[in-house]
Structure 1
């Protein structure tokens, strides 16, 4: 691997107290964590989270938010989970239904036992990625306090030698827009992967570890993989975004799709022309279609994705069944289960109707709906009524948060909030992004390095309180090789 010189200048140091204040502020602004019940402390860049959340998804969301803060080297998540009481018999039913009706995991040989809110998952899967999907489904059931992981995986699908595991990890990292692989060293012995070197953020470190498991590692030692802001330097990443041939990009996209268990059993066709990827063929559900596009956008050299994947339609007589499964999935979700939704279904096309308190819950309800087998198209018509509205739903959970209306936040205040979000984002703070706010609508202009940066900038603006975002950011594109 090419050796890169590290900077000799003193690296910018961010005070622990400033990092703590930034994490606390993000918890207050970003919904779905329950900021009032979380305590934050930072020592030498490592963030400690204590207190409690109302569900496992909120616990993980809190850690993910902290991991993505500039200056954070790691997160110790000691948050407890205090969900609403759900009788074990009911929770057992909901867990079984969640597994049965999730199109990605419904055929996996998994069984669960429930006791006092703890779900014990049993079974043998093919890969670590399948195991993670199962655990995510269980964590998304309202009332689950913890998940005892007793799942194993045979690894028959990924039965690589040590050299093959190392090569696979290297290929994944080289083609991923998320991490500068030139600064990461990898070695494997008896399927235990050792990673060292430097990454730019704590979130990148987590991504490297997950990538190693996806490639077939039985254990990952990342103690010697350091987090340092200088690793985000554009100069060091210039080779990362160097032009690639369309053929090489197409192969990389194929490889990424092949390792996504949400796409198991499907083989989307990939055509690349001048860095534009066109996906054709069919997949089994709407979530798989969206996942394929997201996977493709994460590959270096991809500048745009035309998602022409088809989801087979359903006969009219299946509409009632789809509607029932959709309502049940929304009802058992820890974020939106307390709301009432009235979806309309015709030939697999869904109009999602209802009222929630925050844009976060609106988008989360859509995500839940995309995972229902038989949903081919989704129009999210869920209305957002903030907590200070007379039409706001009642009996909201702790993790919902407070959704300010555009009228209650001056444009100048909202603009500063957005700029603060960008300042504390490791990948955005040094990029040339201009922000303008008018009547609660944010307009973003300038150029960013990747599609991921463009998407994150828009999401950060919404989470800062913008009622809408005009995202005119351009992605720097050196152009494909001839």
Structure 2
């Protein structure tokens, strides 16, 4: 009878270093055509990414944060990017652009919205039928030229919360997934994966910092 062999458990997965996270975030931003030309500084400390610098519009700012959250080892993202449009756009012109964009959108164009703009900050008010419509309206407003921030104060109708509007066109992918998530009890849906670093160790090393070049 052969002696019993003791099996050594495999070593735990090593923690992703801050330097590796910086390199991965830089690569993600470089391959995103919306973000590539932005003047973005990437800083990482203990898996927490800080983005700083200036971008031309709000969509680029949001896209940079989403890209950073896709990187393995990222525990959180602090988005300090400032929106600075190439040229100053009057608030009334921005408001009209937002209203027109909402009216053209196939998902929320059938809904009435209140739109106010002050200093490039767009305020959305009114009622929608689903959480998807609430999020969609915010995304549409963020894409309007001159918008530097969106304050989404839309309310989801209580009687129809979580149910798809019968008159709204449906997307077989994003719309359905978001709808099912809300029906399962989710209060908000962000269709982007976030990988959390659960390593309990605390690293007090100096933050790793790199700039992004166009």
Instruction: Return the TM-score normalized by structure 2.
Output: 0.71
Question: How many residue pairs align between the two structures?
Answer: 180
| 1:286 and 2:65 matched | no
Indicate the residue corresponding to 1:464 in structure 2.
Answer: 184
CA drift of 1:466 comes to 5.0
Q: Quote the residue 2:77 is aligned against.
A: 305
Q: CA deviation at 1:397?
A: 2.8
CA distance in structure 1 between the partners assigned to 2:198 and 2:166 by the alignment:
48
Contact 2:129 2:160 in 1 (8 A): no
Q: 1:250 Cα deviation (Å)?
A: 0.9
User: Distance in 1 between the 2:27 and 2:169 partners?
Assistant: 41
1:90 aligned partner: none
Residue among 143, 168, 180 paired with 1:397: 168
TM-score by length of 1: 0.34
Q: Deviations over 1:19-72 (max 9, x none)?
A: xxxxxxxxxxxxxxxxxxxxxxxxxxxxxxxxxxxxxxxxxxxxxxxxxxxxxx
Do the aligned partners of 1:338 and 1:395 also contact (CA within 8 Å) in 2? no
Counterpart in 2 of 1:372? 144
Return the structure number with greater helix share.
1
- CA distance in structure 1 between the aligned counterparts of 2:95 and 2:44, rounded to whole angstroms: 37
- Residue in 1 aligned with 2:24? 252
Equivalent residues of 1:284, 1:312 under 8 A apart: yes
Distance 2:153 2:21 in 1: 36
> What SS does the aligned partner of 1:281 have?
strand
Deviation, structure 1 residue 366? 0.8
For residues 392-444 of structure 1, the C-alpha deviation after alignment (integer angstroms, 9 at most, x for no partner) is xx9833649xxxxxxxxxxxxxxxxxxxxxxxx9xxxxxxxxxxxxxxxxxxx
Matched-pair contact (CA < 8 Å) for 1:350–1:379: yes
How do 1:91-110 residues align onto structure 2 when only pairs under 5 Å count? none
1:265 to partner: Cα distance? 2.0
Deviations 1:291-344 (A, max 9, x none): 1111111111211111110012775x6111111111111111111011111211
Structure 1 residue 476: Cα displacement: 4.6
Question: What 5-or-longer segments of structure 1 have no aligned partner?
Answer: 1-235, 401-424, 426-455
Alignment of 1:187-266 (within 5 A): 239=13, 242-266=14-38
Higher relative contact order at CA 8 Å, sep ≥6: structure 1 or structure 2?
2
